Amino acid sequence: MSTTDPQKPATDSAIGEFVTSSQRPRKRRNYFLVFGAIALAVIGAMYLLKDNAQVEEDKPLIETVARGNIENTVAAAGSLKPLKIVEVGAQVSGLLQKLHVEVGDVVEEGQLLAEIDARVQASRVEASRANLAAMEAQTEARKAALELARANTARQERLRTDNATSQLDYDNAVNSLAAAESSLVQLQKQIEQSRASLSSDETQLEYAKIFAPISGTVVSIDMIEGRTLNAVQMAPTILRIADLSTMTVQTEISEADIASIKKGMEVYFTTLGGGDRRWYSKVRQILPTPLVQNNVVLYTGLFDIENADGSLMPEMTAQVFFVTEAARDVLTVPLGALTFADTPQTGAADPQMAGRPGPGGRPGGANGFPNFSGEMTEEMRQRIRERIAQGGGPPGGGFPGGGQPPGDFPGGFGRPGNGMAQGAAGAPPSRRDATVKVVKADGSTEERKVVIGLSSRIDAEVISGLAEGEKVVAGIVQAEPTEAEQQASSNSNFRGPPGGFMPFMR
């Protein structure tokens, strides 16, 4: 006979619960370990993919050796002025009766511009003419009196020979002859004076009509019809006429640049509304008297430019470039691709030299970019991205975005017979030895020595060592930063509120 223990089921249930409760922490710990391993694997894969993608996206900046123009310039600001401008004024007083022109009218020399009320001048002319006519009428009477005096004198001389007259009558006859001669001469001089006065009055009457002294354009009118002009002390200006066929550019040159500017130097300028158009000329004059503004010393340089199409207007702003050196139709290579032999090597792989300017003001090594084995700082990467986005070359050197302004060199900017670029003083520039990395057809690179002539802030002239169409390495095009890098950069720049207090973030 078996008996059932009523406590056994309770014991088995307790044991089951104990086993189940002891296994739960182990399962939870296993889940945490699995999830942690997966998370670490995902993060590692992301960083690995990011690094691989970054390496794959980095590529060298390849440039082609081509023919072009190189110039070194001194920039200055200037304004346009008419070469010849005339202030047309009134030489007689009176009421401005009529204006025959308006501002902007093109006039020819001798064209009627304005008229002044000339009634007073006309009256003076009439009076002078009447006075002259009266004097001329007296001339015949004076001549008749002179003939009578001469006859009386001759008669007295005959009577005196025969002792038939007295000495007193003879002397009176001689005196009358002298008086008649003097009276005629005096009248003739008065007639000449009256004629001169009449001519002056007629000229004053002509001044009442104002004619154009030169051919040109009416640029301003200072008087209006109906205004009374007083020309007693000075001639009031009625209008101004400018000859716009030839313009003069007045340029303000700083004292730091004035030593480089010489008379006869090639110069060109652009205007705000002229787009890419250039106007070429030569320096005509440098005024010796400076203009001092806020302790800044400026010298005025002048040069003239033909304005046949009338596109240049007075007071336009001009961006002037004085060409100190220039070369035309030469082989050019980007300055960032060169490593000059006379410059100490400063590779960017050296941590102390990373980011420091190299030759020509460019960061990194002597070629303006860090070596492929080195690392670029984030600042250097951002500068390269900005320069490439603007269409320019590598950063540094201060050259403007987009390279040289467009336009062709005039004939005077050519190269001399020795094949060297012409400098400002006429002497060829010094040659410099350099090296470049040339890209072969199979994609590999080789280092080659070249001879460099004239160089600007962007390009350099290749005298020997390279051929047109060859490709050279001019730097590195760095990849755009990833979102994680941008986020890390923004987080690293955040310093929190003042006082160092950071809010609690959940």
Percent of the chain with pLDDT over 70: 67
CATH of 91-117+208-235, one of 3.10.20.600, 1.10.420.10, 2.60.40.10, 2.40.50.100: 2.40.50.100
pLDDT at site 369: 40
CA dist 125 and 199 (Å) reads: 8
Q: Which residue has the tokens 């007629």?
A: 202
CA dist 370 and 79 (Å) reads: 43
* Average confidence (pLDDT) over 119-123: 89
Looking at per-residue confidence, does 9 or 243 come out higher? 243
**H helices within 8-118, ranges in order?**
8-57
pLDDT at site 105: 92
pLDDT at site 15: 45
pLDDT over 70 (residue 416): no
Nearest of 231, 195, 204, 232 to residue 122 by alpha carbon: 204
pLDDT at site 487: 65
Q: Which residue has the tokens 């440098």?
A: 286
Full-model pTM: 0.57
CA dist 96 and 315 (Å) reads: 29
Judged by DSSP in three states, 487 sits in helix
pLDDT per residue over 1-13, tens digit each?
Answer: 444 454 445 445 5
Nearest of 250, 244, 214 to residue 311 by alpha carbon: 244
CB atoms under 10 Å from CB of 465, counted, come to 19
pLDDT at site 477: 74
CA dist 267 and 413 (Å) reads: 10
Looking at per-residue confidence, does 390 or 415 come out higher? 390
In three state form, how does the secondary structure of 390-437 look? CCCCCCCCCCCCCCCCCCCCCHHHCCCCCCCCECCCCCCCCCEEEEEE
Class of 60-78+246-481 in CATH: mainly beta
Burial track 405-427 (b if 16+ CB lie within 10 A, e otherwise) = eeeebbeebebeeeebbbbbeee
Q: Give the distance, in angstroms, between the CA of residue 218 and the centroid of all CA atoms in the same chain.
A: 26
CA dist 340 and 366 (Å) reads: 7
Range in 183-192, 237-246, 393-402 the model is least confident about? 393-402
pLDDT interval class at 32 (50, 70, 90): low
CA dist 362 and 380 (Å) reads: 10
* Average confidence (pLDDT) over 274-282: 91
* Average confidence (pLDDT) over 441-464: 88
Mean pLDDT of the chain: 76
pLDDT per residue over 318-367, tens digit each?
Answer: 999 999 888 888 999 898 888 887 654 443 333 333 333 333 333 333 33
273's enclosing H/E stretch is none
* Average confidence (pLDDT) over 451-479: 86
pLDDT per residue over 356-412, tens digit each?
Answer: 333 333 333 333 443 333 344 556 555 555 554 454 443 333 333 333 344 444 544
Domain boundaries, the chain: 60-78+246-481, 91-117+208-235, 119-205
pLDDT at site 491: 57
Nearest of 335, 374, 328, 373 to residue 355 by alpha carbon: 374
